[in-house]
Structure formats: structure tokens, C-alpha cells
Amino acid sequence: MIAIDNLVVQFGGVKPINQLTATLTAPVAGLIGPNGAGKTTLLNVLSGFVRPVQGSVALNGNGLLEMTPLQRVRAGLRRSFQTEQVVEDLTVADNLAAIADHIVPSPQRAEAVDRALAFIGLRPVADKLGQSLNLFQRRLVELGKCVIGKPSLILLDEPAAGLTDEEGGALRELVLRIPTEFSAQVLVIDHDVELIRAMCSETMVLDYGKLLALGPTETVLADPDVRRAYLGEL
């Protein structure tokens, strides 16, 4: 469970997060909103790249803002980035091992990497270099990095952007397996409303740093304010 209370982020005169209070409890929760709404900024606050000027965030009852980024990773926080971060001159297995080195005790590292490889279905290309991967495989590696160790919350920033419908569907099936197979909650940002509808039982809508709506995805997507502000309807 993610509990956000009265959160404010300020960059100069801009407040990309403005007095945000929200609690997310769904196993896979969605985060949507127009460009510049503050979605990535919220993920940056959760993972420790951005320090808010006010407010608190708790993950399963533990205050996150007091922790360093590394402490958050050790507490089970994982994230993927809007621009994928696969290391080009490392193999797929070593991209995963590079994460495991920091968070998994050495006797269990090989097993953790293998489990992640099996989960994302990339065992056949485990020895291929990052530079040889296509976009879908890169997104899978990003997802694999997120399930290494004992994840408690996985933050995904537009994991399906640029993928075909078929690839997006395959990614969705993997994400839906995470809560039961890894006991982790997932918070996913995406502009593809149909993907959010298929993946997230609960969705939060941000609109220029403010909470526009939060609740069951179907209810939220049918909300006239959401349709006006986000889906471009009058």
C-alpha cells in the first residue's frame, strides 16, 4: 500500500505535485494524466530522485522520504524508466546480475538472475549483449531488473510505449503475474488507456499536480471530469 499525504514538489515557480493526498491499495494500480501532469515526478519522489518540499509517503506503513535511494531499493522499491536503461555492452544475464550484486546475498544471486530470466522469457538470449536487443526485449530486461531480490513495490514508467499491440499484451500478462509471483505491488504509468483498463483494478488521475480522480479503473475512466481533462472530450 502506498499512502501519499499532502505532497508538494516545487521546481522554481512550478509545482508539478501540488498538495497530493492519495492511497493506492490495488495489486496493480494505474497512474494516468496528460503530458506534464507530474506522473514521472511522483515516481521520482517515490524512488528518491526528487525531494518534495512538503508531505509524506509511506510504503506498507514505512516512511519512504526518510530513506536514501539505496535504502528504498533494499526495502523492495524498484522502478523502470521512461527511457530504458539497458547496458549495451553487458549481456542480458549480466544486466540482471548488476542489480542482483547490490541487493541479493551472493549465494542466492545466480538463482535470482535465473528466476528473473525465466519470468521475462529471455533465457534463450541470456548471453546476448544489450546492444543486440530489440525494444521489446529491452523492456523485458527492464521488467526483469524490477523483480530481482524481494520487490515490494515496482514502479513502471510507460513500459509499453512504442510496443506493438501484441508485445504490449504480452507485457501486460507479465505485469499481472507480479503481485502473486513476487508478492509486490505495481504502480504503472501509461498513456494507453486500454492497457491501463486491462491491467489496473485501481487508477489515479493527475492533472497538473492535482488529484483529479482515484478509484476503480472503470469508474475513473467513466468520470466526466477525467474524460474532459484527459481524454479530450467535451
3-state helix, strand and coil shares in percent for the chain, rounded to the nearest 5:
40, 25, 30
Among 20, 29, 37, 174, binds ligand ATP (CB under 6 A): 37
Query: What are the grid coordinates assigned to 112, written together?
Result: 535470482
Per CB under 6 A, which of residues 76..115 are in contact with ligand ATP?
82
Nearer to ligand ATP, 7 or 99 (CB): 7
Nearer to ligand ATP, 104 or 158 (CB): 158
Least distance between Mg ion and beta carbon 41 (Å): 8
Residue 31: what are its φ and ψ, rounded to 5°?
-135, 115
Number of neighbours of residue 31 by Cβ within 10 angstroms: 26
20 binds ligand ATP (CB under 6 A): no
Nearer to ligand ATP, 130 or 209 (CB): 209
Computed over its alpha carbons, how large is the radius of gyration of the chain? Answer: 17
53 binds ligand ATP (CB under 6 A): no
179 binds ligand ATP (CB under 6 A): no
Whole-angstrom Cα distance, residue 113 to residue 118? 9
Instruction: Name the DSSP letter for residue 213.
Output: E
Query: What are the grid coordinates assigned to 122, written together?
Result: 529471455
Per CB under 6 A, residues contacting ligand ATP are 11, 14, 16, 33, 35-41, 82
